[in-house]
């Protein structure tokens, strides 16, 4: 395994933005940056051995600031939405920034996706660290966080988040990478086949907030228990798809147990033969089909990003968990350690 590091650029304050490249024995690679502890690129082979970049990103570091699509970034302190930016913890009410009206999204306008993380390299990994101070974006407690990216010769990208807090808080971390297994800039993902190990999903309201308990996928466009193309039902006359202009939903992973890894699903592109299988210890896989990518900027191929040219497969807690006591808890206490792990296994068939 080879890890290279170079300076990608500098902030207006003169801070270095770093770019790391991890390359395995096959020549497959992962590129990361300390800006938002983000994935910039993932190069993996197709069925003929041709390596292409299958992760959406920008062609320069400037575009990663204020990125409304969170391309490849670490989302938090709370990934996904919190209704009206409000929650109650231990009898105290908290108010967060509204950056996805009327909701709080992915930690707010200056969340973990917008900060420069400290970084270091180890044998097969890059480790990013950040201390989020008490009150940052309205969240209680000072929280120390590590984002660990491991890459190996089997083309497995493992992402593990660790955290500790000095006061009760809520925490939900994930990476917001978007995949196009044909290669970035090579069209939409509607012909990709998606399979999810999930017999239930979370219905949402018009503000993309869960309405309550998970519901059966059977008989709905949300049924991916057997592989089907993303485009087959995405335009179906169904209110759920209308609310998000496509898929922007959470699926409850079958058989989830706290702290145990389970397969969540697989994405497959018949044209290239590439696959990515997802395993996680989180209860939810959130599928977002890039329904609002138009106009966000230029990709690494020099082309405009377009709607539905990537699909995010985010493993996390359920959206708005602090306001749904029946969901697996998002509370982190000082005597506890936070850990969230996801593996993306790339292959071909």
Q: Is the dihedral of CA 153, 157, 158, 162 positive or negative?
A: positive
> Among 104, 176, 192, 324, which one carries the catalytic annotation?
176
- Encode 20-42 in three state secondary structure: EEEECCCCCEEEEECECCEEEEE
In the set 52, 137, 314, 324, the catalytic residue is 314
Classify residue 187 by its DSSP letter.
-
CA distances from 153 to 24, 26, 345 (A): 5, 7, 11
Q: For residues 155 and 171, what is the distance between their CA atoms, to the nearest angstrom?
A: 29
- Find all residues with CB under 8 Å of 242, minimum gap 6, and list them: none
The tokens describing 286, both together, are: 């959130």
Contact between 157 and 147 under an 8 Å Cβ cutoff? The reply is no
Q: What angle do CA 181, 187, 188 make, to 5 degrees?
A: 75
Angle at 224 between CA 222 and CA 230, to 5 degrees: 80
By three-state DSSP, how is residue 265 classified? strand
Catalytic (active site) residue 6? no
Tokens coding 103: 């909701």
How buried is 130 (Cβ within 10 angstroms: 0-12 exposed, 13-18 middle, 19+ buried)?
buried
Task: Specify whether 314 is catalytic.
Answer: yes
User: CA–CA separation, 44 vs 338, rounded Å?
Assistant: 31
Where in the sequence numbering do the catalytic residues fall? 176, 314
């Amino acid at each position: 395994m080879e890890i290279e590091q170079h300076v990608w650029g500098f902030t207006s304050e003169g801070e270095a933005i770093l770019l790391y490249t991890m390359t395995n024995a096959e020549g497959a690679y992962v590129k990361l940056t300390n800006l938002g502890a983000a994935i910039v690129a993932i190069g993996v082979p197709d069925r003929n051995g041709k390596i292409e970049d299958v992760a959406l990103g920008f062609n320069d570091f400037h575009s990663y600031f204020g990125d409304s699509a969170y391309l490849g970034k670490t989302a938090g302190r709370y990934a996904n939405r919190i209704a009206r930016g409000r929650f109650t913890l231990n009898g105290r009410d908290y108010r967060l920034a509204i950056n996805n009206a009327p909701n709080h999204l992915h930690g707010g306008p200056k969340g973990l996706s917008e900060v420069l993380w400290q970084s270091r390299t180890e044998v097969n990994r890059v480790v990013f660290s950040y201390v989020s101070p008490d009150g940052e974006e309205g969240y209680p407690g000072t929280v120390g966080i590590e984002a660990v990216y491991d890459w190996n010769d089997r083309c497995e990208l493992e992402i593990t988040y660790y955290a500790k807090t000095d006061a009760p808080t809520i925490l939900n971390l994930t990476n917001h990478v978007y995949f196009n297994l044909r290669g970035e800039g090579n069209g939409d993902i509607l012909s990709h086949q998606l399979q999810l190990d999930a017999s239930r999903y979370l219905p949402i309201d018009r503000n993309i907030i869960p309405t309550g308990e998970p519901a059966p996928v059977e008989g709905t466009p949300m049924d991916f228990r057997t592989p089907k193309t993303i485009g087959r039902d995405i335009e179906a006359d169904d209110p759920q798809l209308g609310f998000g202009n496509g898929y922007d939903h959470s699926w409850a992973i079958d058989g989830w147990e706290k702290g145990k890894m389970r397969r969540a699903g697989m994405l497959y592109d018949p044209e290239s033969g590439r696959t990515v299988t997802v395993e996680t210890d989180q209860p939810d896989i959130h599928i977002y089909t890039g329904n609002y990518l138009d106009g966000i900027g230029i990709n690494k191929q020099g082309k405009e990003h377009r709607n539905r040219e990537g699909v995010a497969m985010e493993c996390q807690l359920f959206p708005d968990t602090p306001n749904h006591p029946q969901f697996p808890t998002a509370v982190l206490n000082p005597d506890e350690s936070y850990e969230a792990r996801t593996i993306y296994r790339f292959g071909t068939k």
